[in-house]
C-alpha cells in the first residue's frame, strides 16, 4: 500500500498490496486505513477483490457498497475486462457506477481521475 499525492489530494493505493476483500471484516480494515492515512479515497484493482466479492450470493459486494457509502469513502476499482464476470455482477457494476462511493473502471487512469474529481 502507498499513499498517492495528486494535486494536493491523496488516495490510498492498494493495487500492489496482498490485501483482499474476502469477508466483511476486510471492508472495515480498509476503512480503518482511511482514518489512519486521513484520506477517504481508495484505489483497488480486481486482485484486491476475492471471488466471494464477485459472487452476489455472498452479499459482500453489497455490504462494501453500503459501508463505503455510510462512511463517505470513495473507492475506484480498476478491472482488466468486465466481461470476465457474470451478467448479474456486470449489472451490479453498472448500477454501482452511478453511485458516488464505488465505481469500476477498465483502466487505472480513469479510476484515478474519478478519485481526483471527487
Query: Which residue ranges make up each domain of the chain?
Result: 2-117
pLDDT tens sequence across 77-117? 999 887 888 999 999 999 999 989 999 999 999 999 999 88
Q: Whole-prediction pTM value?
A: 0.88
- Give the residue with greater pLDDT, 7 vs 114: 114
The C-alpha cell that represents 42 in the structure block: 481508495
pLDDT tens sequence across 10-57? 899 999 988 999 999 999 999 999 999 999 999 999 999 999 999 999
Report pLDDT for 2: 63
Q: Which of 33, 43, 35, 34 is nearest to 6 (CA)?
A: 43
Contact 76, 68 (CB under 8 A): no
d(CA 33, CA 89): 27
Q: Which CATH number fits domain 2-117: 3.30.750, 3.30.420, 3.40.50, 2.20.28?
A: 3.30.750
Q: What is the DSSP letter of 83?
A: G
Amino acid at each position: 500500500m502507498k499513499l498517492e499525492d495528486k494535486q494536493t489530494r491523496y488516495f490510498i493505493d492498494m493495487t500492489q498490496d496482498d490485501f483482499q476483500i474476502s469477508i466483511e471484516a476486510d471492508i472495515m480494515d480498509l476503512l480503518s486505513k482511511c482514518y489512519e492515512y486521513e484520506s477517504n479515497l481508495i484505489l483497488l484493482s480486481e486482485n484486491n477483490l476475492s471471488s466471494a466479492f464477485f459472487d452476489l450470493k455472498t452479499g459482500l459486494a453489497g455490504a462494501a457498497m453500503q459501508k463505503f457509502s455510510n462512511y463517505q469513502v470513495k473507492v475506484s476499482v480498476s478491472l482488466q475486462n468486465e466481461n470476465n464476470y457474470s451478467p448479474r455482477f456486470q449489472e451490479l457494476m453498472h448500477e454501482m457506477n452511478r453511485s458516488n462511493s464505488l465505481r469500476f473502471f477498465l483502466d487505472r487512469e480513469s479510476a484515478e481521475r474519478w478519485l481526483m474529481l471527487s
